[in-house]
Structure 1
Amino acid sequence: MKITVIGGTGLIGSQLVSTLRAAGHEVVAASLSSGVDLLTGAGLDQALAGADTVVNVTNSPTFDEASPDFFRTTTGNLLAAGERAGVGHQVILSIVGVDRVPQLDYYRAKTLQEDVLKQGPTPYSIVRATQFFEFMDAVLAWTADDHTVRLPSTPVRPMAAADVVAALAEVTTGAPLNGTVDVAGPEVFALDELGRLTLSARQDPRRVVTDEQAGMFAAVEGDVLTGGPDARPASTSYGEWLGTTR
């Protein structure tokens, strides 16, 4: 199978390219660095030539009100190029619970991306994943000073990027779902407690203060980010992952 990975040099994309190649597939890793620009459409026709499946793991450069236009334009350009190339399966990576947090610009933008894909001309699959373990440092940095980190107690069910890649690879090489699958980590944490575990494991002396108004995830109500009972559970626990990254 010939597969084009748009965003093939990023955290998820680079691992996905390696996984698919190891399984014997012909893979094109497309990105700005290889001359493919989703916003303008430059290089797309060449990158998609002969592809059976296209996987889009690119991200908006901002999380603000500009992100909907990014996803509307880039998804439209990719669908049009895919139709010209005869692509039979379009896959995107999205976020668990994304359509249930309309108060966040970025989540509205990702929901828009899903909607544009669903309305497009090509069979599709949407893989929704929970937050990545690898992004925990960024989450801590959003609301930190020299002595404290402020985090809400929002329930989360994070997962390793490697497990996200495994789920994406399975869906990418299968028949189009024409639907959505949720994948999530094996454990549910309160975000503030996850912060404490992270700082402790890294011997960081800062203190986590529970603040229900702090950071982006303060806008999320209930267990929206945990994926519910139908989510496919990943295998890597947060403790296992921390042990490999110390």
Structure 2
Amino acid sequence: MTHRLEGRVALVTGAGSGIGRATALALANAGARVVAAGRRTGPLEETVRLAAEKGGRVVAHAADVTREEDVEALVRFTLETFGRLDVGVNAAGGTFGGGPAHTLDAATFREWLDGYLVSAFLSTKHEVGAMLKSGGGSVINIGTFVGHTKAVPGTSGYAAAKTGLIGLTRTVAAEYASQGIRANVLVSGGADTPMFRSWNPSEEQRAAAARLHALQRIAEPEELAHAAVFLASGESSFVTGTVLTADGGVSLV
């Protein structure tokens, strides 16, 4: 363990797998006390176990972050458990229907918005409320290159939600900068997560995705987690309202 985040309390949504889990573990390894949130208890308990193996302190709390009452309860649990909130990492998401825009029904489009944008808004809203009581903090919303630097056919709902996340985060950064709260988007390239593998089930598809990146590979989730730790720490104290891109050069190719 390191001590970069000693004394800090972090809340990570989507912490049962992928970038969310890797970030929860990295924050704990840096000394933060972490609440790991997600819909399913089993994967969250695995995150808790993995952190404990390395001496980190992580507790699990199940929540559906598209529901405001769940988010309120989640933040309240964090404050009751650890007394404060300093870092919020919003990595929750899901997989919904896709296809060309003219075939996408409005209900499916709204599922993408709820899963990636409304959930991040609700999480950010209540995290900021807690951070105001704690004297400041860092909100980190996990974004993607899809729709931001590259358009990918069949992903209009996902792209709309994730690019909307940038406008949301920059506005929050402007609103609360004077009160010691920073907000940034961490834009990921392709990463080897369960969702990535569900979207690219064959070796050929994963190889093709890797070739989209200048580095000719996709990321391990831990590589994104390292960037999140930077945004959570005092080392990024002058960084707010930015889009930090860790995309393996996908925007260059």
TM-score w.r.t. structure 2 length? Answer: 0.62
In structure 2, the CA distance between the partners of 1:137 and 1:72, relative to structure 1 (3 Å rule), is closer
Query: Do the aligned residues in 1 keep the contact of 2:92 with 2:119 (CA within 8 Å)?
Result: no
How far apart in 1 are the matches of 2:206 and 2:12? 36
Unaligned runs of 5+ in 1: 186-224, 230-246
Q: Which residue of 2 aligns with 1:131?
A: 190
Mapping of 1:114-193 within 5 angstroms? 114-120=166-172, 121-122=175-176, 123-134=182-193, 137-141=197-201, 155-157=212-214, 158-173=218-233, 174-175=236-237, 176-185=239-248
How far apart in 1 are the matches of 2:206 and 2:247? 25
Q: Which residue of 2 aligns with 1:4?
A: 11
Of stretches 95-104 and 11-20 in structure 1, the one that deviates more from structure 2 is 95-104
**Is residue 54 from structure 1 mapped to residue 88 from structure 2 by the alignment?**
yes
Query: Do the aligned residues in 2 keep the contact of 1:4 with 1:47 (CA within 8 Å)?
Result: no
Q: 2:118 aligns with which of 53, 73, 89?
A: 73
Query: Do the aligned residues in 1 keep the contact of 2:146 with 2:152 (CA within 8 Å)?
Result: no
Letter in structure 2 aligned against 1:90: V
Q: Which residue of 1 aligns with 2:162?
A: 110
Structure showing the higher helix proportion among its residues? 2
How far apart in 1 are the matches of 2:145 and 2:242? 13
TM-score w.r.t. structure 1 length? Answer: 0.64
Q: Which residue of 1 aligns with 2:137?
A: 88
CA-based RMSD: 3.2
Percent identity between the two aligned chains? 13
Letter in structure 2 aligned against 1:52: D
- Cα offset for 1:138? 3.6
Query: Do the aligned residues in 2 keep the contact of 1:30 with 1:47 (CA within 8 Å)?
Result: no
